[in-house]
Amino acid sequence: MVKNRFEKFNFLRDLSEPILVLAFDAEKCIKEPHFNKKYKFEPIIHQCAGVGCHHRYLYIHKLEFKSKKLAFLAKKLHKFYFGTSLGCFGPQLDNLVKYDKNLKELFGMGCNYTWSELQEAIYPIDIDWLHKVTKTVLPHNLDDLLVFDNKCESLCGSYNRWKLLILAENSD
């Protein structure tokens, strides 16, 4: 019998406030990743896209917002998109442009590399803004969060491997 590779994934229980996470997309993994034991990564299922009820399988490491102001802005961003079913039928250019503008106005940051992640309840920020939004200490090279069996393995999926996301409650 084939084992379901996502059976250990669970929904996040408390999303009364948006959270900031460093995410690794489990659906794009060829095999289960091995994380550095110094960092806690949780296998989660996150429902998003409003009535579209998309389920994303992610390994996440929860991060602390750098300031209360950034946490407040994350709530404001989520409130703007809550109930919109954003991304229900995939990303639409007008929504992406509006989101990027909102992100720049609120945070002074963008989503040039992570725009495809945008859905109600998943709000991407480009990873190069990581140290501007969190006070959580992470290695300079994020791939040091992973343990690879060999050098070749470290190259697989290396482009855009890490996602900086604000996760929030889905409206559906």
What does the pLDDT look like over 18-52, one tens digit per residue? 999 999 998 887 778 889 999 999 999 999 999 99
- Does residue 6 belong to any structural domain of this protein? no
The answer to whether residue 81 scores a pLDDT higher than 90 is: yes
pLDDT at 137: 94
- Does residue 3 belong to any structural domain of this protein? no
| CA 46 to centroid of chain Cα atoms | 10
The token pair that represents 26 in the structure block = 């489990």
pLDDT at 42: 95
Q: 131, 70 in Cβ contact below 8 A?
A: no
pLDDT at 1: 45
The region, left, alpha or beta by phi > 0 then psi within -120 to 50, assigned to residue 108 is: left
Residue with more model confidence, 40 or 6: 40
Number of domains making up the chain: 1
Q: 89, 127 in Cβ contact below 8 A?
A: no
- Does residue 121 belong to any structural domain of this protein? yes
Q: Can you give the residue range of the structural domain that contains 35?
A: 12-167
Q: 160, 114 in Cβ contact below 8 A?
A: yes
The answer to whether residue 14 scores a pLDDT higher than 60 is: yes
Express as a percent the part of the chain with pLDDT over 70: 94
- Does residue 108 belong to any structural domain of this protein? yes
CB neighbours of residue 166 within 10 Å: 25
- Does residue 47 belong to any structural domain of this protein? yes
- Does residue 57 belong to any structural domain of this protein? yes
- Does residue 33 belong to any structural domain of this protein? yes
Q: How far is CA 50 from CA 19, 35, 43, 151, in A?
A: 18, 31, 21, 40
Length of the chain in residues, anyone? 172
- Does residue 5 belong to any structural domain of this protein? no
Q: What is the dihedral of CA 152, 154, 158, 162, to 10 degrees?
A: 170
